[in-house]
Amino acid sequence: MIVQFLKHFLIVLVLIFFFMNLVSSGSSVGVNWGTMATQKLSPEKVVRMLKDNGFSKLKLFEPDEWILAALMGSHIEVMLAIPNYLLQLMSEDPKAAKSWVQTNVTDYLYTGGVNIKYVAVGNEPFLKAYNGSYLHLTLPALKNIQEALNSAGFGTRVKATVPFNADIYNSPDSNPVPSAGDFRPEVKDITLEIIQYLHTNEAPFTVNIYPFLSLYSNNYFPLDFAFFDGTNKPIRDGDRAYTNVFDANFDTLVSALDKGGFPDMKIIIGEVGWPTDGDKNANIANAKRFNQGMLQHALSGNGTPARKGTIDIYLFSLIDENAKSVEPGNFERHWGIFEYDGKPKYELDLSGSKRVIGLEPVDGVEYMLKRWCVLNPDVKDLDRLAENIDYACSLSDCTVLGYGCSCNGLSIEGNASYAFNMYYQVNDQNSWTCDFDGLALVTDRDPSVGDCQFPVMIAHGSSLMLQWGELKMGLRIFVGFVLFFFLL
């Protein structure tokens, strides 16, 4: 009797553990990891943080041997991208495509290696801003990469896809509803050719959708319609009702695919998220509201009005990138769920269950000394202050100083101190970077004011990683010589 009870008790425990692990793992949640930062966190520590938080999928914008090495044995599913600048080479030279697959896929795809599932060919190559630069390169590159994967024996395991921007489809102004959606006329034919190839290879259609940009680009856009808990009156499309712009955008794509003859095409959301600074609508409260709503919506299984089921998403992005281009807007450097140093910006339940859960930070981060570069309060001649601020900002990151941003309320002196400190920090606190024609000095008093934080950067940046890379290469050469002479 006791034995039977213990057996049932153990079965219940196993089922409870399995369920808890399933919920906490965020099994359907991916995240984009961009690395355009002046100082980078240790890949090993970031991967550990990904696992601690239950991220099961990861998208990389290009191969990085340090990150790929850190991912070995992690079981995290990886989408590995080929940058746009390589599309011409990949489209023209099948041997180059095979070489890329060998170096970045085959060398890592083994038991205990990296769980690579997708290769992303380019990133938003049909974006209007590119003026057709990659229009005729993308399909040949896609074919060459997929055929290289097939030749390597991974064709059924690893699929090539193309992450598109949502600007490749729309609804006409005369009938602005999702069911009227179709691909833009100037890219429609080539897009359908790509979709046909993806469909034949059982690969997904990948698209990046950004409700924030709808709000950013239109001052009259209804704020609540950008989120999932808004109270705006729904937009009617026949018997369908739309309460948020994500669903409307997604279903516009569904309609375009349906019109093209691909009603069952699998869709992956390659990027979706909300920035926390750099614009009046980019803040922590809005980012938490959007991302938590997105997770709950995507994982609920309710889907959109036109397509039911869970939605496969990769949040954008993991960590802030202070070296990204700000041409689209100052918010570009602030998409991270985590700060530059791996600290979470806000609570986020990756299971989509709306639990109050704090994310785990990157552990063991080391910082530079607690010192800052600020405007010398004793300086009287400020004639060259403006040009020195411009110089410091042009070579660092002052995107939080803009209208509606976290440091918008600083005085001109405060703006100078912030600019000087950012330049000083991104240059590893070298003494010669805190002068600015005698206007600046180094202090050990934190000049942060309220929500405006003057950061001290992390100590272990990319420069140290490069030094270790050179050392590792030297060790390989040394070991090679030793083996050569031993064999003689």
Are 419 and 389 a contacting pair, CB within 8 Å? yes
Q: Say if CB 180 and CB 171 are below 8 A apart.
A: yes
Q: How far is CA 349 from the centre of its chain?
A: 18
As given in the structure block, the two tokens for residue 256 are 């375009």
DSSP per-residue string spanning 283-326: SHHHHHHHHHHHHHHHHSS---SSS-S--EEEES-SB--TTS--
**Which amino acid, 151?**
S
Indicate which residue of 62, 65, 92, 124 is catalytic.
124
Tell me the three-class secondary structure of 172-198, residue by residue.
CCCCCCHHHCEECHHHHHHHHHHHHHH
Selection from 156, 44, 160 nearest residue 100 by Cα: 160
Amino acid 310 reads T
**Exactly one of 62, 193, 271, 327 is catalytic; which is it?**
271
Whether 101 and 145 have beta carbons less than 8 Å apart is answered as yes
Q: Point out which residues pair with 164 in neighbouring strands.
A: 207
Instruction: Record the tokens describing residue 406, joined without a space.
Output: 């976290």
Amino acid at 484: F
Residue 368's Cβ-side half-sphere holds a number of Cα atoms within 13 Å equal to 19
Hey, what are 449's tokens?
A: 């004011």
Known catalytic membership, residue 271: yes
Phi/psi at 171 (5° precision)? -110, 150
Catalytic residues: 124, 271
